[in-house]
Amino acid sequence: MRNFLIVVMVFLSAIAVAQKGTIRGTIFDKSSGEPVIFTNVYVEELETGASSDVNGVYQIGPIPAGTYTLVVSNVEYETYKTTVELEKGKIKIENIYLSQGQELNQLDVSAEKQNARNNVNPSTIKATKKEISAVVSTGGEPDLATYFQTVPGVVTTGDQGGQMYIRGGSPVQNKVLLDGMIIYNPFHSIGFFSVFDTELIKNADIYTGGFGSEYGGRISSVMDVSTIDGNKKRLAGKVSVNPFGAKLTLEGPLKKLKEDDLNSGTISYVFSAKTSYLEQTSKLLYSYVDTAGLPFNYTDVFGKITFSNPNGSKFNVFGYNFRDKVKWQALSNLNWNSYGLGSNFVLLPTGSPVQIAGKLGYSNYQIAMSEYDALTGESDTTRTSGVNNFNLGFDFKYFIREDVIKYGIEVSGFATNFSYINSVGRTIEQDANTTEIGAYFDYKINRGLLVINPGFRAQYYASLGNFSPEPRLGIKYNVNENFRIKAAGGVYSQNLIAANSDRDVVNLFYGFIAGPDNLQDQIITPNGEKDRKHSLQKATHAIAGFEHDLGKHVSINVEGYYKWFNQLTNINRNKIYSDNSDNLDKPDVLKKDFIIETGSAKGVDAVLKYSTDRLYIWFVYSLGKVDRWNGVDTTYAPIFDRRHNINFVGTYFLDKDHKWEVDLRWNFGSGLPFTQTGGYYHNIDFTSGIGTDVTTSNTNELGLIFSDLNSGRLPTYHRLDFSIKRTIEINDHSKMEINASVTNAYSRKNIFYVDRVTSEKVYQLPILPSLGFNWRF
């Protein structure tokens, strides 16, 4: 039935094109040849238009044949007008090159406002380089990690650890894509830095829930990052250095865009390498934190080559290598290494209104952690994990006036290996191979005041033999030009679980396990037992809220959400028996490696945004509650259950030329749950067997008695970051920036962890001043 509907819609689209015509093209930056995203293209005579997408492509039609005036508007460029002759049944290719320079007399209808009216955008944040740069960054280099921490619904465990939790979902339930390739660990162990170079980010779409059928394989959120294509006219780049690290970014043409022939094909490249030497510099600059230095080092390398066609079609090849190292002798040593190679393309056939996109990628991620025993002084590799992954897919997009039809297919396969010794000395190991096949259909119906966005995803997990039908729906009603009501929901699934322990006082290990099928046949729920019907992790999202433009510069977005995690797979903390023939009579909850849990997340997020030429304010308040049923007898709060979270971000330019910039960010979070230590005992090993005399035996090892899981709460967390920047113009293409920043400006003592044996309190990072330089050319 679905295939029949697709055929009918495509047939109707073909008829519409035959009777009318379509205007399509790509918008470029005239100085660099780089596509310009999210730009408004308006047909004056018809009072209709479209916005360019993440590839700079816009499409208007089918519309009647005739002569039209196109007006192109973007706040960072001069307004552009051109006349277009559209013939009946034809597709008119009209590429546009914009000159930089702000226009004071902008059109009332901005691309951002048009996007808000014409798309549901549930729980969606669109982050560009400009927005990421507005958030205070440690060391003066803007980073997606620091921006991501200000997004509504995002909870971070602090300065050290680098993991983030989104609206009740754990990190493994968040899908991260880089140009279509799956990234398994996007954040470094020191929580200020991600693997992404901000200079190369074209756009980052962050979906904190209720995302459409285009995405699958995760049950909480999606972060989709796309990179720039590179300067097509000249060599350009950036060099930066600060106490935390250094970075080099280069971009340029391999085949130039010719001034006298803007319709010629081009080849361009981008390259980025950044590294941290914090462990070395901190011994000199931040010795008051730890005389041994801060043990965080990383190295990230990314490269990409783009082959561009003058009609907007393009083909990319890219590769990366991300590394992270923590030498924390007082707790643990950790190393992870991630590398990958991929390609993607966008195809715009000149004789058809369809847009075709495709992707192919391979990646490998390996992590190992050796834990240090404070009593014995020994260190052993107790946890290892790895993922080999490939993914490929094709997407098709059709336009029918204001409506958009998308459908596609994706195939993904991964192999996981994992080894872990739990708290009672039992080894849990897994080596698995799995394949996932997903197909989706998405139809955005735009009827002026009402936008309806139904979708459906069919996901099949080959290793488990499970099929997951996943309907999705988004609705927006434009009450008036400035007030919009929206709602969204859907069903989601995944076959990947985290390889962590909730007992850890600090959790730096970020490993993965393929979802097992060796689970208990009976699921214990708060209401009793029921039969297990599948082996997947599943969740259902429901979101509702409103958007209100309070004026030309102020907007507010409020959303309430509920995520029901109706089946989750977790490492079994209660395992004390081996799962073999000798223990057939033992309950599954005492011998299975994994256990099925359930849970929910609910809350409200409010975002207030104020933006003028010189002042930018971003205020976020999140109220949330997350709970989990342990699959046996208890409801508990996971370690990321933060009730209140506040982020205030401000940017102010001291002069009209934007040469002096002041940024600040203040974050407040109520206390996170943790498992308290209830007591200690001598861990007698009974080496003499049953004859061991427990009254005279002695040991250097202490055993721990834990209180109820996550029954304690840490103190509140808050931190103020501040920076000031001075930009010095050297020439049209070159400028230097000097930046001074302070992280944790009032040196708040936020708890990192408490040593379970010595009861010593270890705090997050204190005040960290920094002075940095960068040069753009």
Q: pLDDT tens, 709-732? A: 888 898 999 999 999 999 999 998
Residue 722 three-state SS: strand
Alpha-carbon gap, residue 393 to 391, rounded angstroms: 7
Structure tokens at 494: 């995944």
Q: Rounded CA gap, 436 and 222, in Å?
A: 17
Model pTM?
0.89
CA angle 206, 478, 8 (to 5 degrees): 80
Angle at 485 between CA 131 and CA 553, to 5 degrees: 40
Which DSSP string do the residues of 679-707 spell out, in sequence order? EEEE----TTGGG--TTT---S-EEEEE-
Beta-bridged to residue 563, according to DSSP, are 541, 601
Per DSSP, 160 falls in state B
State the virtual CA torsion across 148, 151, 157, 163 in degrees, nearest 10.
-40
Give me the amino acid identity at 705: I
Taking the C-alpha atoms of residue 549 and residue 359, their distance in angstroms, rounded to an integer, is 37
Cβ neighbours around 288 below 10 Å, total: 9
Sign of CA dihedral 185, 186, 192, 196: positive
Residues in the chain predicted with pLDDT less than 70, given as ranges, are 1-19, 101-112, 161-162, 260-262, 329-331, 372-381, 421-428, 501-506, 684-701
* Residue 394, strand partner residues: 358, 409
Q: Is 43 helix (H, G, I), strand (E, B) or coil?
A: strand
Which is nearest to 316 in space by CA: 51, 35, 93, 38?
A: 35
* Residue labelled with tokens 């470094």: 188
**Distance separating alpha carbons of residues 516 and 1, to the nearest angstrom:** 33
Tell me what pLDDT residue 294 has: 85
Closest CA to 766 of 746, 738, 739: 746
The per-residue pLDDT for 104 is 39
Task: Give whole-number Cα distances, 492 to 353, 453, 503, in Å.
Answer: 31, 17, 28
How many CB atoms lie under 10 A from the CB of residue 429? 12
- Map tokens 């200020």 to a residue: 192
Instruction: Compute the half-sphere exposure of residue 563: CA atoms within 13 Å on the CB side of its CA.
Output: 34
CATH homologous superfamily of 124-674 equals: TonB-dependent receptor, beta-barrel domain (2.40.170.20)
Helix (H, G, I), strand (E, B) or coil at 715: coil
What distance in Å separates the CA atoms of residue 658 and residue 563, rounded to the nearest whole number? Answer: 43
Helix (H) or strand (E) holding 62: strand 57-63
Collapsing DSSP to helix, strand or coil, 133 comes out as helix
- Rounded to 5 degrees, what are φ and ψ at 551? 170, -170
> Under a CB-based contact definition with an 8 Å cutoff, are residues 688 and 701 in contact?
no
φ/ψ of residue 14, rounded to 5: -65, -40
How much is the pLDDT for 76?
81
pLDDT, residue 378, reads 56
**Boundaries of CATH 2.40.170.20 in the chain?**
124-674
Helix (H) / strand (E) element for 201: namely strand 201-207
- For residue 601, what are its two tokens? 């997340």
Burial grade of 99 (CB within 10 A; 0-12, 13-18, 19 or more): exposed
Helix (H) or strand (E) holding 114: helix 111-118
Question: Residues of CATH 2.60.40.1120 domain(s) within the chain?
Answer: 2-118
77 forms bridges with which residues in the sheet? 100
CB within 8 Å of 463: residues ≥ 6 apart: 432, 433, 434, 435, 495, 514, 517
Angle at 508 (CA atoms; ends 649, 648), nearest 5 degrees = 10
DSSP per-residue letters across 71-93: EEE-TTB--EEEEEEE-TT-EEE
How far is CA 353 from each of CA 16, 18, 24, 245, rounded to the nearest angstrom? 11, 11, 8, 47
Closest by alpha carbon to 168, among 210, 134, 136, 201? 210
What is the C-alpha separation between 58 and 55, in angstroms, rounded?
9
Sign (positive/negative) of CA torsion 516, 224, 346, 16?
Answer: positive
Residue of 583, 706, 565 lying closest to 631 (CA atoms):
565
pLDDT at residue 128, rounded to an integer: 84
Structure tokens at 660: 């002096």
Our CA dihedral for 253, 255, 260, 264, rounded to 10 degrees, sits at -120
CATH class of 2-118: mainly beta
What pairing do the DSSP bridges indicate for beta strands 48-51 and 40-43?
antiparallel
In degrees and rounded to multiples of 5, residue 537 shows phi and psi of: -90, 135
- Cβ atoms of 36 and 72 within 8 Å: the answer is no
Distance between CA atoms of 700 and 639, rounded to whole angstroms?
31
Neighbours of 262 (CB within 10 A): 14
Pairing of strands 332-347, 91-93: unpaired
Give the whole-angstrom CA distance, residue 235 versus residue 269.
10
